[in-house]
A and B are shown apart, each in its own frame.
Chain A
C-alpha cells in the first residue's frame, strides 16, 4: 500500500483497530491473597455495582470506589450447552450475590453451582472471565 495523502491524513490512519477495552468486571487479588471485584458504591442510595462508572445507575449521584467479595451466595445458575462465539460448551454460569455487594455474573469451576450454595471468587480465567469456585 502506498502512503497516499488525503489532506493531512494518511490511509493507514483509517484502518480500524479492535477495541482494547474489556467491559467485564475487574478482579484484583488483595494482600490477603483473596480475590475481589472492583466497583462503585453510591453514598446517597447505597447502590453498588461492579463497574467503574462515574454515576450511580439507580439515583445518578456521584459514586466512590469500592471492592466486593470474596465470598457470596449463588442466586441462580445454568449450564450453557449450545455453541456460543469464542466458547466451548458446556460451561456453567451463575449469578452470585456477593456478601457485601452486588450480583455478579461468574463462570463456575466444576460441574455446577447449586442455588443458595456458597462460592468464592477465584482467579479470573486466562481470557478474563469473573470466576468462582464452589465452597464445600
Chain B
C-alpha cells in the first residue's frame, strides 16, 4: 500500500522554558490535524530522547488522543524520523488506517550548553561531547584537504541565511564566513556558529493510505538502520557509512538508482561538517566535494540542489526528538509549494535524512532516510 503524508504541523523552535511539552506538542498536533482535515487517528508513534517517562500520553491526553495504541521510540537525534518510519510501516502494512507521528523535546530546561555526554557510554564517560565527535571528523577532513575552514563556515552562512525566510526558526542571519570562523571555538575546528543550538519544540505528521489527493505528499521510500562498527577499517569519517547504507536502502525502496532526481533535501547538519559529509554520503555531490558545493552555492536556495532550506538544525534549531519530523514538515511544505520565501521552485522529489549519534564504536546510533514525492 502506498502511504501519503496528509498533514504536518510544528511548534516554534527555540529556547522556550516558559512553555511545557504539552503546549509545544499541542501546537504541532493541532496544526497537523487541521492540515490533514481530520483528527481521527488510530495510533501514535512518538519520538523523544530525554522523555520524561510518560510524556507521550501526557501530551496526547491534552488533545483528547486517548484510548488508542501509543508507542514511544528513542533513536537519539533520529527519534522523530524513527517514529515517522514506524508510522509509515504501520499504514503500509495495513495494521492501522491513519497514524500520527509526533516528535518532541525540551532541552532548555535540561542542559545549559552541550548535551551532557552519556556516562554509561565509554566515550561519553571519557568526556566526548557531541561537538567533539563531529570536530574530529572536521579535523580529519581539513587534514586530508577534503574541506577548508572557509567551506565549513559556508554551511553555517548558507543555513542561517535560509532561516531568514523561516518564521519558526530559532536563529537566522546574514553572517559572513569570517564571522562564523571568528565566533567562539567550541571544539577545534568547530566554532559556535557551526554548532546547532539548544532548542525546544515539537513536530507532527498524519500518515494514511495515498488517495491521490491534491495536497498529499507520497512517501516513496523510508529506510532505518542502526550503526555498524566504525573504526580503523573504515575509510571514511564517523557517520558517512551509516548514512550511505541507509540512503541506498531508501533509494531501493523508492525504486531509485541514486539521488539524481532529488530536488530538495533536509539533512542532519547538527554541525557544519555533518552537512558536508552527509551530502557526499547521500551522493548529492562527489566524495570530497561537499565543502566546495556549500561554498559555491550548489546547495543553497537557488542552487542545483538546495539543502536545508528551513535553516537546518544549525538555524531552525535541534530539539532532538522533534527534529526528524520538523525536517519532514519542511519537505512536505516544499513539495506542496507552500514554503513561501524559501520555496524551491518546482520541487517534485524531496529527501529527509536524520542521523543519531552517541554510541561508542558504532558509526551512529541510527539513521533514517526518507524519499517523498509531490502531489
Contacts and interface: CB of A to CB of B under 8 A. Distances in A.
B196 interface: no
A80 B129 contact: yes
Contacts of A82: 113-114, 129, 131, 186-187
A93 B114 contact: no
Interface string A39-70: 00000000111010000011000000000000
B18 interface: no
B139 A115 contact: yes
A80 B143 contact: no
A105 B126 contact: yes
Interface in B176-204: 184-189
A39 to B, nearest CB: 11
Nearest to A73: B232
B265 interface: no
A24 B229 contact: no
Interface in A1-57: 19, 22-25, 47-49, 51, 57
A85 B117 contact: yes
Contacts of B233: 47
A49 B361 contact: yes
Interface string B102-114: 0000000000111
A82 B188 CA distance: 11
A98 to B, nearest CB: 8
Given A77-B136, A80-B127, A57 B188 contact: no
A11 to B, nearest CB: 23
B261 interface: no
B185 to A, nearest CB: 5
Interface string A73-92: 00111111111111100010
Contacts, number: 99
Interface string B348-375: 0000000000001110000000000000
A87 B232 contact: no
Contact of B136 (A22, A47, A84, A93): A93
Given A57-B361, A79-B187, A85-B116, A116 B129 contact: no
Given A105-B122, A105-B128, A115-B140, A80 B187 contact: yes
A85 B230 CA distance: 26
A85 to B, nearest CB: 5
Contacts of A75: 136, 140, 232
Nearest to A98: B232
B127 A93 contact: yes
Contact of A81 (B140, B188, B362): B188
Interface in B123-149: 123, 125-129, 131-132, 135-137, 139-140, 143
Contacts of A130: 126
Given A80-B187, A82-B113, A87 B131 contact: no
A71 interface: no
B196 to A, nearest CB: 14
A22 B140 CA distance: 29
Contacts of A87: 127
Contacts of B125: 22-24
Nearest to A25: B122
A51 to B, nearest CB: 7
A81 B195 CA distance: 13
B127 A81 contact: no
B228 interface: yes
Contacts of B260: none
Nearest to A112: B188
Contacts of B127: 80, 84, 86-87, 91, 93, 107, 129
B229 to A, nearest CB: 5
B132 A93 contact: yes
A23 B232 CA distance: 21
15 contacts: A47-B233, A49-B229, A58-B229, A75-B140, A76-B139, A79-B185, A79-B188, A81-B188, A82-B131, A82-B187, A83-B113, A93-B128, A95-B136, A103-B231, A105-B128
Interface of A: 19, 22-25, 47-49, 51, 57-58, 75-87, 91, 93, 95, 97, 102-103, 105, 107, 115-116, 129-130
Given A81-B188, A115-B140, 18 more contacts: A19-B120, A23-B119, A25-B122, A49-B361, A57-B362, A80-B132, A81-B187, A82-B129, A82-B131, A84-B116, A84-B127, A85-B117, A93-B128, A102-B232, A105-B126, A105-B128, A107-B127, A129-B127
